[in-house]
Amino acid sequence: MENKKFDSIPKEKFTLVHHGERISDKKFDDKPIGYFKDALIRFKKNKASVLAFWIILGILAFSILAPVLITNHDSKFMCNMYAKKPARIASMLNVKIFDGGMDTKSNETGFIKLVGIGMAAADGDGQGVTVSEGLASEYSPMIEIGEAYEQEISKTRSTTYYPFRVDAYLREGFVYRSVEQSEYARIKAWEEETGLQVLYPVIDNNEWTIDPEDANYWYKTNSKGQPVKVNAAGDATVITYSENMVLEDNYKRDAEGNVMYYTYAGGGNADTAQYRVRLLYYNYYQYLYGSTPDYVMGTDSQGYDLALRIAGGIKLSMTIAISVSIINFIIGAMWGAVAGYYGGTVDILMERITDILAGVPFIVVATLFQIHLAAKVGPIVCLLFAYILTGWIGTSSRVRTQFYRFKNQEYVMAARTLGAKDKRIIWKHIFPNTLGTIITSVALVIPSTILSESNLSFLGIIKLGTADYSSLGNLLAEANGIWTNYPHLMIYPALFISLLMITFNLFGNGLRDAFNPSLRGTED
């Protein structure tokens, strides 16, 4: 810097800083930051919590939007033929998680039966069909066939096993149904219109039929269900599987040798006469419900769409959890405020009551409510009662502690000196100080409620599952025991519950840190 001489500045160069103007405080350029705004700013810095918040919103959006986006059936739609099926979307069959496939293996008899479904579907008029035609059919349940291998059953015997991936929907194959003649005509008309074949040749009931109720044994079988070739003398030889295996069909034929598509099963006039028909269920489903069976997450153990059941379960769990936390917030705040503000005998009495309530294990409360009241008010209300009976204690003790901290501070005394009533001091002067801690506990009540609800459902103490709704825990309880064969029944609900728990805990922790002024400035 240049060296200047300051002692010889001429007088006229000086001016007064404030000359002729009024001095007043400058207005703040920014808006003042209050407690909540400060908390919000600090919450936003916590990346994990913000992410969790968005995931929660995403899950909620899923639960609300799923019924809107899945248009081909609603949440009450149930098809028990297609129960416990994995996810399948007809337009995305080349994506493995949406192909409705299950990896399994079978012995030769079972394997031929499944291959046979495709062959029968490819041969709608009984003209004869080869294995490759059958496997190429779009109704063939076989997705992938692995190498056959020998496995020892005992020391002397071994069996050939065929590993394969099978479409769980198409493997249902054919079914028998009795329809009225008018219905039969409608199916016929629908077939004409869409070009999809629903009605398939009926099977003769003779000595080569192992099970007259099973519409998938369309070929001649022996008493073990193995396909057989019958010669003119009536002797049967067992057919083994090979690429060019030929199955002998066992269709019922009329005098001219044409296959028949129905048998008369009784009934009166042209309209009410009952026809027994053999239907390809996959196409029959389309005839009945107007769309292919598309299930984004498969179907649950009863045949409801699992995605819609989960969406409904999230909504139910969230509704229960949020109402519980709001009610507990109100009761806990009032109880804690009164106990903390008045103190003394009132406090001791109230503390004894909370001691007793807090001593009862929650599972006991839930059970007793369920046994006594479930029949009268329904399981959901019962569960709410159980949560509310003991749930507010945590909030109330937090509020009480805060009241003890603040009630003797000078500003409260000042308010009292100025004539403020107890009610005003409690709600206007002290209570806002407790809000931060309470909001955190409210946010953390939500995951713990969801968790304990799912535990209680899982144990079967409460049963939150009807045709209209099902809780996530109930879906898991239904999957228990059978999920090893149908993993999707467990994976999806467990995934959503875990995701909800993780995100809500992260969110709650973020809130707790944000509302805790003592942590201010320590994060950076």
Interface residues toward other proteins, by CB under 8 A: 48, 355-356, 359-361, 363-364, 367-368, 371-372, 447, 451, 454-455, 458-461, 476, 480, 483-484, 487, 490, 494, 497-498, 501-502, 504-506, 509
- For 34-54, letters b (16+ CB in 10 Å) and e give eeeeebeebbeebeebeebbe
The residue (of 197 and 367) whose beta carbon lies closer to other proteins is 367
The first and second tokens of residue 147, run together, are 């190498």
Nearest distance in Å: CB 376, other proteins: 14
Nearest distance in Å: CB 328, other proteins: 19
Nearest distance in Å: CB 58, other proteins: 17
C-alpha pair distances (Å), 314 with each of 58, 86, 454, 468 = 12, 20, 11, 13
Nearest distance in Å: CB 325, other proteins: 17
The residue (of 280 and 479) whose beta carbon lies closer to other proteins is 479
Q: What are the φ/ψ torsions at residue 288 (nearest 5 degrees)? A: -70, -45
Nearest distance in Å: CB 318, other proteins: 16
Query: What whole-number distance in Å separates Cα of residue 124 and Cα of residue 141?
Result: 16
The residue (of 70 and 316) whose beta carbon lies closer to other proteins is 316
Q: Say if residues 465 and 317 touch (Cβ distance below 8 Å).
A: no
The residue (of 262 and 458) whose beta carbon lies closer to other proteins is 458
The residue (of 436 and 473) whose beta carbon lies closer to other proteins is 473
The residue (of 268 and 359) whose beta carbon lies closer to other proteins is 359
Nearest distance in Å: CB 30, other proteins: 31
Angle at alpha carbon of residue 206, lines to 201 and 209, rounded to 5°: 75
Q: 143 exposed, middle or buried (CB, 10 Å; 0-12, 13-18, 19+)?
A: middle
The residue (of 148 and 459) whose beta carbon lies closer to other proteins is 459
The residue (of 190 and 362) whose beta carbon lies closer to other proteins is 362
Nearest distance in Å: CB 498, other proteins: 5
**Residue 440 three-state SS:** helix
Query: What whole-number distance in Å separates Cα of residue 27 and Cα of residue 41?
Result: 23
Nearest distance in Å: CB 443, other proteins: 14
The residue (of 65 and 502) whose beta carbon lies closer to other proteins is 502
Q: What are the φ/ψ torsions at residue 228 (nearest 5 degrees)? A: -130, 160
Nearest distance in Å: CB 2, other proteins: 48
Query: What whole-number distance in Å separates Cα of residue 308 and Cα of residue 312?
Result: 6
Give the position of tokens 């503390």: 351
DSSP code per residue over 214-237: -TT--B-B-TTS-BEEE-TTS-EE
Name beta bridge partners: 237: 229
Q: 113 exposed, middle or buried (CB, 10 Å; 0-12, 13-18, 19+)?
A: buried
Nearest distance in Å: CB 484, other proteins: 6
The residue (of 174 and 458) whose beta carbon lies closer to other proteins is 458
Nearest distance in Å: CB 475, other proteins: 12
The residue (of 132 and 480) whose beta carbon lies closer to other proteins is 480
Query: What whole-number distance in Å separates Cα of residue 315 and Cα of residue 60?
Result: 8
Greatest alpha-carbon pair distance for the chain in Å reads 139
Closest CA to 166 of 104, 250, 255: 104
The residue (of 175 and 357) whose beta carbon lies closer to other proteins is 357
Nearest distance in Å: CB 496, other proteins: 11
DSSP code per residue over 241-274: P-TT--PPB-B-B-TTS-B-SEEE---SSTTT-E
Q: Say if residues 436 and 515 touch (Cβ distance below 8 Å).
A: yes
Radius of gyration of the chain (CA): 36
Query: What crossing angle do the helices spanning 431-459 and 306-342 adopt, rounded to 10°?
Result: 140
Half-sphere exposure in the Cβ direction for 117 (13 Å, CA): 28
Type of residue at 29? D
The residue (of 92 and 501) whose beta carbon lies closer to other proteins is 501
Nearest distance in Å: CB 178, other proteins: 38
